[in-house]
Amino acid sequence: MDEKKPSVASNALNYGLITGAVLIVYSLLLYIANLYMNKSLGYISYLFLLGGMVWGTLEYRKKAANGFLTYGQAFTSCFLIGLIAGILGAVYMFIFAQFINPGLINEIIDQARVSMQGKNLTDDQIETALDYTRKFTSPILMMIFGFILYAIISAILGLLAAIFLKKPDPNATASSL
């Protein structure tokens, strides 16, 4: 019996949800270990994002594309996986900041204050900067900015990963590439 091949969108949905779930679990582990404000450890989440994009695209190439993908198809798969993971991550960020750790915004403000105090700024300059920080750190805005950031990072990682994930069909004509 002929197995139905998944579309790039359905594949991206599956692997995007898996990747998003992994990112949420990682974030929760950082929170439980009280390391969630550590920026260096936060960057590791991008490795999970890249891993999910690569894994999902390789599976798509193997199952749906007969082992071949153009650069555009590889990018589309990577980007959609990252975008879906980003949606999940952004919604989680809202829930985290609103319900799990409602003091997060104050912690962000305190961390910003500490980082500005070593930069030869006057107290008025620091307070002005902190006022702007407060305006842009509501749970809703954090969710929106988080999604935008995930979309940009997914596009960049997708462009780079697609270079290595593409595998042109040697039997394809030049017009179909």
Q: Please, are residues 86 and 62 in contact by the beta-carbon 8 Å criterion? A: no
> Is 148 contained in some domain?
yes
Q: How many domains does the chain have?
A: 1
> Is 174 contained in some domain?
no
Provide the residue range defining the domain that includes 49.
8-168
> Is 177 contained in some domain?
no
Angle at 12 between CA 163 and CA 83, to 5 degrees: 80
Find, among 74, 72, 28, 73, the residue nearest to 55 by Cα: 74
Find, among 78, 75, 68, the residue nearest to 177 by Cα: 68
pLDDT digits (tens, 9 = 90+) for 29-76: 999 999 999 999 999 999 999 999 999 999 999 998 889 999 999 999
> Is 175 contained in some domain?
no
> Is 48 contained in some domain?
yes
Mean pLDDT, all residues of the chain: 92
- Mean pLDDT over 4-32 rounds to 95
pLDDT digits (tens, 9 = 90+) for 112-151: 898 898 888 888 999 999 999 998 899 999 999 999 999 9
> Is 1 contained in some domain?
no
Residues above pLDDT 70, as percent of the chain: 95
> Is 15 contained in some domain?
yes
What does the CA dihedral 45, 48, 52, 58 come to, rounded to 10 degrees?
140
> Is 66 contained in some domain?
yes
pLDDT for 177 beyond 60: no
pLDDT for 3 beyond 80: no
